[in-house]
Structure 1
Amino acid sequence: MTTSFGRVGVLYGGVSAEREVSLMSGAGVCAALREAGVDAHLFDTGRQSLAELAAADFERVFIALHGRFGEDGTVQGALELLRIPYTGSGPLASGLAMDKIATKHLWLQHGLPTPRFAMLNSQSPLDGLADDLGLPLIVKPAHEGSTLGLTRVESAAQLPQALALACQHDDCALAEQFIRGRELTVPILGTGDDARALPVIEIIAPQGNYDYEHKYVSDETQYICPAQLPDSLARQVQALCVQAYRILGCEGWGRADVMLDAQNRPWLLEMNTSPGMTGHSLVPMGAKANGMSYAELCVAILATARCKVRAPLAH
């Protein structure tokens, strides 16, 4: 058995709306790590307490949690306090990436392209929104993933219902310009200057509807990896995604979602700091196209685990 990593926890499950996906991700990661000889153990943060986590004697953990209380900086902060090295981004980058509006503001400050948007809450007036952003437009929760609570709005009359749905998941919603074109995603591995993009993946969903069902359940969605793009355009998209990743301060691994419009201009949608690791997931697909197996990917990510906040010197 590989002992270089010591006793490893795989944090999965959790309490977010993405719990079921996280259960699948964590089970896959844990099995792969064990296959590679790692002493890996599942730990469900939705069923087990922080006291149990502190007592588990993990020397490092692989975060396979998605959504709130797993991908938003909260569990990362707890792990910093416990001084347990962990995979992925730190508390600040995780929180920023989970907040789609904060992410967009930061990208815009650095001149990166992202669709026009408006911030909404349940009481926001909707008059003029369709004129400002154009139709169709997207309404989605500002702090949610897996397309939960997302609506593609085709007419202004649909806006109240779309906003109500988004606000079932979040106090804050995002209305976003819809970019017609090709849906791409780019997995990223590494940190800082060492961050590198894996091959670009194109997602072709039935009727262009890449919802929760078509992400995790249906076999109808097509994935083209590497995406059929001119080499120069693929490199441009990859470089943009790595830049977006670095600006947010992401570490270890992640995945950037992009729309490519009819003029082949890429538009950044969001950054995922703890992407899915299920049988339908995209980071393993990109890694495989680069000659890396699922187990090798899991071990490579685990090898980057560390605490990101520098501990104060003892007095």
Structure 2
Amino acid sequence: MPGPDPRDAAGRDRGRGPPRLRRARLPRLVAHRRTARCGGPREHRRGESAPRHSSRSRRQLLSPEGSTRRGTRLRRAHRRRARRSGGAPGRRARERRVKIAILFDGASAFAESPDQEIIGTVDAVSLSLTTEGNTVVRIPVHPDARWIDRLRRARADFVFNLCESIDGVAALEPAVISVIELLGLPYSGSSSWTTALCLRKHVVNAALERSGLPIPKFAVVRRGTAIPSVGFPAICKPAAEDASIGVEQRSVVRTSRELTERVSSMLDRWDEVLVQKYVEGREVNVGIVGEAVLPIAEIDFGRMPKGMWRIVTYRSKWEDGSDEDVGSAPRCPARLPASIAAQLRKIAVTAWRIVGGSGYGRVDLRIDERGRPWILEVNANPDFAPTAGLARMAGVAGIDYGALVRQICELGLQRSREVSTTAERWALAVRLSGVAPETREPDLFPAGEA
């Protein structure tokens, strides 16, 4: 039985909702770096470099020489510490800076027509880490899997995962995280199973709906199956894609004939198609970092050409300057009544916990004409570019890009410290299976005394 409607709960309990990131609460995570002003985020656009800072930052990521990866932790590099502790002469020599491997879709980044967005994001994350004195190694991911051996040989303390696909194939995204998990390395973002779950739109929708969260009526269509009715207008999307691939103005249909034609054409490319009731209204994004919620953003469709559906299409995201790009401008913070904002935050955090999200993520919703929120998607690995939605929302909260990068690293390292080893989990599983742990019998005749 589904639980109580979270929309009602959010309306009743405004004061006890999920925590929000506010300037007054957030410590400055990067030394010598000023937070953005309340008026809005400081964005680094293409062609502009992020501000440089001294490599002697007091917020370096340090790990003790010879420690296990599981023991890696964030430390402040403070030159006065050695003096206070008696000035051990070799202490700083025994410490080493954290080595961070950045994974990204190399097949797309270095293709014949390179994806400059990927390269720009890798540059930005790398700069944020190296200016704090950390060591960074870039590892492009290709289908030949040679990157796995390179990652093993890198002996990295932490993996910053920016890989949203392999050669543009989003379905391979969870496999990259699985490799990191298999190698036992701490990493940024959500687990492989969470990412895989969120990529299958109809599966995650079913899980969220079962938990009582508001999901527009939906169905999945495969080759040879009938097309169920969800009501009109309806929107058709690939069931396992991201980045708005397969979404255009013709994705929204008004009649059964249009629906049949659209689904049939999509099944020529994709095995599964999601058909969902289209929700007319405002579209908002709720960003989550750790246990806190960023300021809510909204997609402003005010300049969308007349006669076009107010949706975020592939052209909206990837064709700069197009009519659909101009007509779907992000705005943060969204101008929302406090009660609606509280509902959105509570629903988003509940959805994030249900899918097992970790580190950072984004939940996209619509608010219908009656003011009711509806979940559109849970994104477990959103775009991490300095000018993308998550960084923009963080900027409004007073968190600059470098601070955001550092916080993501801290969250990943914290998770790795909380996870038990395989041996510990197995020992607990055996005990909970009713098997007594093995005890070594005492040796009554030690060697040489018989």
Fold equivalence (TM over 0.5): yes
Q: Cα offset for 1:245?
A: 0.1
Q: Does 1:187 find its partner at 2:279?
A: no
2:317 aligns with one of 203, 215, 227: 215
Q: Does 1:11 find its partner at 2:107?
A: no
Q: Cα offset for 1:289?
A: 0.8
What are the residue-to-residue correspondences of 1:85-104 with 2, within 5 Å? 85-104=186-205
Instruction: Answer with 1 or 2: which has the greater Rg.
Output: 2
Q: Does 1:62 find its partner at 2:160?
A: yes
Q: Cα offset for 1:38?
A: 3.1
Q: Cα offset for 1:15?
A: 5.7
Greater mean deviation of Cα atoms: 141-150 or 27-36: 27-36
Q: Which runs of 5+ in 1 are unaligned?
A: none
Q: Cα offset for 1:274?
A: 1.0
What does the per-residue CA deviation read over 1:219-258, in whole Å, with 9 as the maximum and x for residues that have no partner?
5132221100012211210111011000111111100010
The one-letter amino acid paired with 2:422 is P
* Distance of aligned partners of 1:167 and 1:311 in 2 relative to their CA distance in 1, 3 Å threshold: farther
The one-letter amino acid paired with 2:377 is E
In 2, Cα distance between the equivalents of 1:169 and 1:61? 33
Q: Cα offset for 1:58?
A: 1.3
In 1, Cα distance between the equivalents of 2:196 and 2:371? 30
Q: Cα offset for 1:168?
A: 5.3
1:44 aligns with one of 132, 140, 149: 140
Q: Does 1:82 find its partner at 2:205?
A: no
What does the per-residue CA deviation read over 1:190-215, in whole Å, with 9 as the maximum and x for residues that have no partner?
1xxxx221111001242423112222
Q: Is the 8 A contact 1:27 1:42 kept in 2?
A: no
Q: Does 1:73 find its partner at 2:174?
A: yes
What are the residue-to-residue correspondences of 1:146-225 with 2, within 5 Å? 146-150=243-247, 151-167=251-267, 170-190=270-290, 195-205=291-301, 206=304, 207=308, 208-219=310-321, 220=326, 221-225=328-332
* Distance of aligned partners of 1:109 and 1:297 in 2 relative to their CA distance in 1, 3 Å threshold: same
Q: Cα offset for 1:286?
A: 0.7
Q: Which runs of 5+ in 2 are unaligned?
A: 1-54, 63-73, 75-97, 428-450
Q: Which has the higher strand share?
A: 1
* Distance of aligned partners of 1:22 and 1:115 in 2 relative to their CA distance in 1, 3 Å threshold: farther
Match in the other structure for 2:408: 301
In 2, Cα distance between the equivalents of 1:292 and 1:252? 15
Q: Matched residue of 1:292: which SS?
A: coil
Q: Is the 8 A contact 1:103 1:248 kept in 2?
A: yes
Please give the root-mean-square deviation of Cα atoms over the aligned residues, in Å: 2.5
In 2, Cα distance between the equivalents of 1:110 and 1:15? 38
